[in-house]
């Protein structure tokens, strides 16, 4: 029977020949990601873990990134509990503060391969679809149960097939692509669905694919997934995975799709998502001139070297506008090191940026870079919900690294095609 990507992976993981949408299957994920919330996760099952132990010590990967370094005694105590749990259960996969944002680290540290099933107690776990994995978010309670049993249930999703045509025209970027897609389909446009990308995927770099897959959940999707091609193989090989280390999975040509959408990349323009919904997408030209007080460059959506470099190229020899705070948040220690070595960091600092430690920082409003009432922040992050950056009377506008950098220079929302 011809199957989609999601059907194939779930059938394989459930030990079945085939599955159909709506079917509920029992699966054992290859890895389960936890971050600072591991403190609450271990707390939920502390007694039971004493009795039954951890089902599979290789499965959990714990990466501290959300509030790092600790902003308060309570955060510090949470981190301490996690370190103690790691020691108590001799967990082999633990990364303390400073290594980077969990999703970037999962990929850099070789926990993601094509065809794998990865669950994470963070909604942006969907990022790893860029590498051809089935990756999606779960809550803390489910992560806790997975520690005890190593297995859970998943419903086989229906699939959308998105066919990309032609290529993006720089400075139009992957962020403009995914925001345009969400604007077109809506924040619930792919609720419960798997979304496969076909067509001119080869025109997109691996960083581009990570940016796109990262935002799958903002369209309600269970997974966003890209096929494994030359770029994927090259990326995996740079991480020490030869062609024998993984078996790519992809949809059969005759698979059944709930919906097919064609998307012409050459027609996409720089866009923003206006407050307070990710699908309130408008061309930058329609909102150009709106003043900003903060600009956030980075996060798990757009904090990779290519993103920082795009911003640095625009900011070179210029200064951030008076009255604007530019925050740069690299996705990982590796990214930060490469950005230092290539001069990107000094360009950003000379322009007036504040460089933050690799982590989640201001994106979720838990610490660093919180907004004041009446302020507007242009950000490369993935969410602009009311109150997201710590203040419900502030506005967050989502955009690409180029648009954020251009706006930081002028102090108002600016089309990157006008700054050069």
Smallest gap from Cβ 313 to another protein, in A, equals: 32
Q: What does the alpha-carbon distance between residue 296 and residue 359 come to, in Å, rounded to a whole number?
A: 13
Smallest gap from Cβ 34 to another protein, in A, equals: 11
Q: What does the alpha-carbon distance between residue 226 and residue 233 come to, in Å, rounded to a whole number?
A: 12
Q: Which is nearer to another protein, 43 or 352 (CB)?
A: 43
Smallest gap from Cβ 279 to another protein, in A, equals: 8
Burial label, 378 (beta-carbon count in 10 A; 0-12, 13-18, 19+) = buried
Smallest gap from Cβ 218 to another protein, in A, equals: 8
- Looking at beta carbons, which pairs linking 81-87 to residues 24 or more positions away fall under 8 Å? 81/39, 81/42, 81/43, 82/36, 82/38, 82/39, 82/42, 85/38, 85/42, 86/62
Q: In whole angstroms, how far apart are CA 314 and each of 16, 176, 386, 405, 411?
A: 52, 17, 29, 7, 14
- Under 8 Å between Cβ of 160 and 197: no
SS3 of residue 383 by DSSP: coil
Q: Which is nearer to another protein, 122 or 415 (CB)?
A: 122
Q: Which is nearer to another protein, 110 or 392 (CB)?
A: 392
Q: What does the alpha-carbon distance between residue 412 and residue 287 come to, in Å, rounded to a whole number?
A: 9
Smallest gap from Cβ 245 to another protein, in A, equals: 29
Q: Which is nearer to another protein, 34 or 284 (CB)?
A: 34
Q: What does the alpha-carbon distance between residue 190 and residue 188 come to, in Å, rounded to a whole number?
A: 6
Side-chain-side CA neighbours of residue 371 (13 Å): 31
Smallest gap from Cβ 82 to another protein, in A, equals: 11
Q: Which is nearer to another protein, 25 or 167 (CB)?
A: 25
In the structure encoding, which two tokens stand for residue 299, read together? Answer: 């996060």
Q: Which is nearer to another protein, 84 or 141 (CB)?
A: 141
Q: Which is nearer to another protein, 6 or 353 (CB)?
A: 6
- Full DSSP string of 328-377: EE-SBHHHHHHHHHTTHHHHHHHHTPEEPPSS-GGGGTSSSSPPPTT-EE
Q: What does the alpha-carbon distance between residue 293 and residue 411 come to, in Å, rounded to a whole number?
A: 7
* Helix, strand, coil shares, percent, the chain, to 5: 40, 20, 45
Q: Residue numbers of the site for another protein (CB under 8 A)?
A: 24, 36-37, 40, 43-45, 48, 51-52, 66-67, 72, 74-75, 78, 120-123, 125, 137-142, 144-145, 148-149, 153, 187-188, 191-192, 217, 220, 222, 277, 364-366, 370, 383, 385-388, 390, 392
Region of residue 179 (phi > 0: left; psi between -120 and 50: alpha; otherwise: beta): alpha
Smallest gap from Cβ 266 to another protein, in A, equals: 30
Nearest to 130 by CA among 106, 159, 156, 154: 106
Residue 270 host element (H or E)? none
Go through 164-199 and write b for each residue having 16 or more CB atoms within 10 A of its CB, e for each that does not.
Answer: beeebeebbbbbbbbbbbbbebebebbeebbbbbeb
Q: Which is nearer to another protein, 153 or 165 (CB)?
A: 153
Q: Which is nearer to another protein, 194 or 305 (CB)?
A: 194
Q: Which is nearer to another protein, 68 or 311 (CB)?
A: 68
Smallest gap from Cβ 327 to another protein, in A, equals: 17
Smallest gap from Cβ 139 to another protein, in A, equals: 4
Residue written as tokens 């506005």?
395
Smallest gap from Cβ 44 to another protein, in A, equals: 6
């Amino acid at each position: 029977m011809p199957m989609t990507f999601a059907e194939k992976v779930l059938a394989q993981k459930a030990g079945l020949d085939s599955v159909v949408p709506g079917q509920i299957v029992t699966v054992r994920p290859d890895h389960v990601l936890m971050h600072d919330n591991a403190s609450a996760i271990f707390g939920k099952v502390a007694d039971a873990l004493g009795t039954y132990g951890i089902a599979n010590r290789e499965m959990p990967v714990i990466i501290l990134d959300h509030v790092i370094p600790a902003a308060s005694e309570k955060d510090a105590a949470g981190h301490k509990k996690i370190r103690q749990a790691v020691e108590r259960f001799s967990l082999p996969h633990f990364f303390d503060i400073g290594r980077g944002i969990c999703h970037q680290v999962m990929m850099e540290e070789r926990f993601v391969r094509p065809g794998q099933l990865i669950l994470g107690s963070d909604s942006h776990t969907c990022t790893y679809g860029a590498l051809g994995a089935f990756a999606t978010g779960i809550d803390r309670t489910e992560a806790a149960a997975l520690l005890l049993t190593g297995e859970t249930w998943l419903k086989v999703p229906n699939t959308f097939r998105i066919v990309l045509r032609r290529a993006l025209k720089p400075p139009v970027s992957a962020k403009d692509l995914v925001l345009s897609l969400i604007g077109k389909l809506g924040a619930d446009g792919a609720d419960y669905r798997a979304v496969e990308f076909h067509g001119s995927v080869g025109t997109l770099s691996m960083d581009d694919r990570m940016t796109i897959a990262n935002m799958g959940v903002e369209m309600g999707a269970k997974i966003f997934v890209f096929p494994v091609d030359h770029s994927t193989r090259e990326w995996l090989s740079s991480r020490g995975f030869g062609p024998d280390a993984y078996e790519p999975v992809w949809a059969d040509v005759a698979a059944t799709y709930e919906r097919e959408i064609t998307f012409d990349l050459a027609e996409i323009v720089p866009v923003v998502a206006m407050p307070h919904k990710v699908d309130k997408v408008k061309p930058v030209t329609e909102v150009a001139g709106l003043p900003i007080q903060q600009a956030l460059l980075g996060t798990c959506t757009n904090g990779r070297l290519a993103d920082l470099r795009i911003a640095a190229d625009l900011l070179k020899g210029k200064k951030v506008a008076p009255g604007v705070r530019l925050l740069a948040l690299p996705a990982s220690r590796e990214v930060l090191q490469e950005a230092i070595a290539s001069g990107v960091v000094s360009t950003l600092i000379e322009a007036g940026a504040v460089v933050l430690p690799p982590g989640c920082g201001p994106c979720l409003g838990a610490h660093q870079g919180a907004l004041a009432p009446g302020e507007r922040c242009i950000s490369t992050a993935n969410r602009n919900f009311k109150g997201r950056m710590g203040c419900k009377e502030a506005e967050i506008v989502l955009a690409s690294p180029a648009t954020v950098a251009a706006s930081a220079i002028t102090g108002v929302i600016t089309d990157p095609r006008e700054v050069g």
